[in-house]
Amino acid sequence: MEEENIEPPKQVRIPKDPFTEQFQPLENDRLFSVVDATLKRPAQMAHELIHGTGWKAPLFLTLVLLFCLTVLGIIMGSFSGGAQFWAVPLKIVTGTVISALICMPSLYILLCLSGGGQSFPQVGRMLLLGLTLAGILFIGFVPVAWIFSQATESAVFMGVLYLLVWGIGLFFGLRLMKTALEFLNKRSLGTLNLWMFIFAMVLLQMSTTLRPIIGKSEPLKFNEKMFFMAHWSEALR
């Protein structure tokens, strides 16, 4: 009886997680290298922000975020012109920074309850990384938004367009923050989904508090309380 040649089973090579492969020190901490790493090798940025001792990476991320928000605000202000050219960038930067500061304690608490081991400053740096990626994405959509702002006079349409831009940017930015924190803690952090929803709601409410952002310049109405859904309903009338 002839012996059958039985080939050994082929070993299936399981690809490694890209975040795991790239989690190593940042090769260059110059400004453009930091931007490039944020887009292409975010794990290196996470490593630098958690284990690095230098100040350049956090500083450059902050500068890039502020620059991106300012440029986005200028383009948004160009829809109406006039005082909105400086008022909208100021509102966008101020509103985003205040929203992040307001939501930071809840982010840290939810992370701790989920078993996270990062310190408060480290969590803040991960949020900074996510927001910076969102800001860079905002800049990527700026030419599209500018074209529409010059082609239409509908404040409602532009408002929906910019909400879409913000939604896309925040989705990828906050997803990066969540991925980095899950990698660092070696566990799923489903509670961060709740925090991301809360953060989005705070940003939307802040946009209503600092209104008008899209449209003609008007005095701020801090004494007039209004929920952002009510503001949208009023704008659609």
Q: What is the mean pLDDT of residues 129-157?
A: 86
**pTM: predicted TM-score of the whole model, two decimal places:** 0.84
Upper half-sphere CA count for residue 195 (Cβ side, 13 Å): 24
The 10s digit of each residue's pLDDT in 61-119 is 999 999 999 999 888 887 777 777 788 889 999 999 999 999 999 999 999 998 888 89
Q: What is the mean pLDDT of residues 181-204?
A: 90
Nearest partner of 96 among 121, 76, 78, judged by Cα: 76
CA distances to 27, 61, 166, 187 from 131, in Å: 22, 9, 11, 22
pLDDT band at 231 (very low <50, low <70, confident <90, very high): low
Q: Where are the domains of the chain?
A: 20-236
Nearest partner of 94 among 128, 69, 58, judged by Cα: 69
Nearest partner of 209 among 194, 224, 190, judged by Cα: 224
pLDDT band at 13 (very low <50, low <70, confident <90, very high): very low
pLDDT band at 227 (very low <50, low <70, confident <90, very high): low
CA distances to 81, 130, 135, 139, 223 from 169, in Å: 25, 9, 7, 10, 31
Q: Where are the beta strands (DSSP E) in the chain?
A: none
